[in-house]
Amino acid sequence: MEIRFHMARLVRQLHWVLMFGLLGLAGAAAIMELRAPTYVATARILVESEQIPGDLAPSTVRLQALAQLELALQRILARDTLLQLAARRGINQTAALSPDDLIRDLRTRIEMTHAPGRNAAPLVSISFQGPSAQLAADVANDIAQMILQADIATRTQTARKTLAFFTQDVARLEAELAVQDAEILAFRQQNADALPDSLAFRRSQQTTGQERLLQVERQIGDLQGRKAKVQQRQNTLAAKTAAVSPSTEAQQLAQLEEDLATQSALLSPDNPRVKMLLSQVKGLRQRITSPDDTATDPLTSYEVERAEIEADLAELTARKTRIHASMAALATSIQATPSNAITLGNLERAQANTRLQHDQAVANKVRAQTGKMIETLRQGQHISLFEAAVPPSHPQGPSRFVALVAGLTLGLFTGLVFVALRDHFSKRIRRPADITAALGITPFATLPYQRTRAHAVTPQPQG
């Protein structure tokens, strides 16, 4: 019964609901007429793969295409760039917005989307919402061109900086190699006699020198023995001669010869004492053999043999001295060779490491030159404009039909709420329950309202 009562009340007040529905419909139509249309234009960018296989000529620019596009878009969304874009396209001519409001509005209008998934087509859409179709298309194309230019500039600049870095690195390593070459050359020249590569030769020379020294010492000993025998033989002969006809001069000569033999065995032939004794012996012998004749007599066999022995001893002694000096120099160089080998090894290892770095830097420089050429000719991975934005023929947003239906629905709902509130706050009695609620009594029966002909002609107010 409650439902029938409320439905009857709704039917009686349906004109209110219809009136609010018409008002909502009219309001939606007015809003659609006053609302400025929004046009969306979209430009599409294609991420193209490398034109040259990477294993043949790799590019030195390793950038993720989508990440690079996102970075380029964020640079475009910067404050200064957006203000320049708005001034160039006259976006803020109709609406007097502050710079901050204009930037926020433009950032909400610009959108970049791409198909999700690893195997999706490498297409990226750049959209812009504008009050006119031509403005939306122009701004979308401007943004796409700015992204393309940013990609070209980034890749070219990256390739150029890579080449400049490796060129500088090669020059630095070449300078280091030149310094190290000079250090190694100077060290080798300074220690030419004590380098490890000639150690075996110097040790063989040392062994040969020891053998030569032993041989010279044996020869000196033989000569000294021979000299002593000659001197002994001469002394014996002089003694026999003195026994037959002794004389003072002969005795002096024998004594001088004996002293000369003794001193020659102990001293070098170049010794001043030996030379003085030799001169005295010669003068005295000359007086004895020819006291009245000033001509010099030929040397005796003893004197010739003695002179030969002394000359051989002098030559062997000088040779022994030279061998001693050579062996001392060899010993010094052999003793200094280990430390020189360590120093030279450190220098050569440092040079080898630098040379390895130099070879790698040269190879990297060649790859950087190839990468720069690839990026200059746009043969590597790059982005290109796949489809330019065109002015849309229809604005984007809710259609007129949807807006009118929404306005009508809102108006009808408002009318129902109005009718419900009107009945709820009304004090008029319309059914027995209202009598009970208002007077606190329970009616025995209810009679329907009877209409007469007069009532039918004269409309009565409805409760």
pLDDT tens figures, 109-161: 888 887 655 555 577 888 888 878 888 898 889 888 888 888 888 888 888 88
Of 330, 352, 387, which residue sits at a domain end? 387
Q: Does one domain contain both 52 and 68?
A: yes
Q: Which structure tokens are listed for 103?
A: 């930037």
Query: Which residue in this structure is represented by tokens 């409805």?
Result: 462
Q: Does one domain contain both 63 and 137?
A: yes
Distance (Å, rounded) from C-alpha 194 to C-alpha 70?
66
Q: Does one domain contain both 202 and 350?
A: yes
- Assigned domain for 174 exists: no
Per-residue DSSP letters for 37-85?
PBEEEEEEEEEE--SS-TTTS--S----HHHHHHHHHHHHTSHHHHHHH
- Assigned domain for 405 exists: no
- Assigned domain for 400 exists: no
pLDDT score for 332: 86
Distance (Å, rounded) from C-alpha 311 to C-alpha 317?
10
Give the distance, in angstroms, between the CA of residue 425 and the centroid of all CA atoms in the same chain.
83
pLDDT score for 116: 56
pLDDT score for 244: 46
At position 172, the amino acid (one-letter code) is: R
- Assigned domain for 70 exists: yes
pLDDT score for 181: 92
Q: Which residues pair with 384 in a beta bridge?
A: 46
pLDDT score for 243: 55
Q: Does one domain contain both 340 and 238?
A: yes
- Assigned domain for 190 exists: no
Quote the strand ranges of 49-179, DSSP E: 110-114, 123-130
Neighbours of 124 (CB within 10 A): 23
- Assigned domain for 225 exists: yes
Element spanning 417, H or E: helix 400-425
Q: Does one domain contain both 141 and 51?
A: yes
- Assigned domain for 453 exists: yes
**Contact yes or no for 307/210 (Cβ under 8 A):** no
Question: Alpha-carbon torsion 316, 322, 324, 326, what sign?
Answer: negative
Q: Does one domain contain both 78 and 126?
A: yes
Of 361, 395, 419, which residue sits at a domain end? 361
- Assigned domain for 96 exists: yes
Q: Does one domain contain both 274 and 323?
A: yes
Angle at 78 (CA atoms; ends 71, 44), nearest 5 degrees: 50
Q: Does one domain contain both 343 and 308?
A: yes
Rg of the chain on CA atoms, in Å? 64
Low-confidence residues of the chain, pLDDT below 50?
1, 54, 56-57, 244-246, 293-298, 462-463
Q: Does one domain contain both 416 and 453?
A: yes
Q: Does one domain contain both 216 and 281?
A: yes
Q: Does one domain contain both 344 and 213?
A: yes
pLDDT score for 432: 61
Residue pLDDT, tens place only, 317-333: 888 899 889 888 888 88
CATH of the domain at 72: 3.30.70.1130
Q: Does one domain contain both 88 and 25?
A: no
Number of domains composing the chain: 3
Residue span of the structural domain in which 62 resides? 39-168+380-387
At position 131, the amino acid (one-letter code) is: P
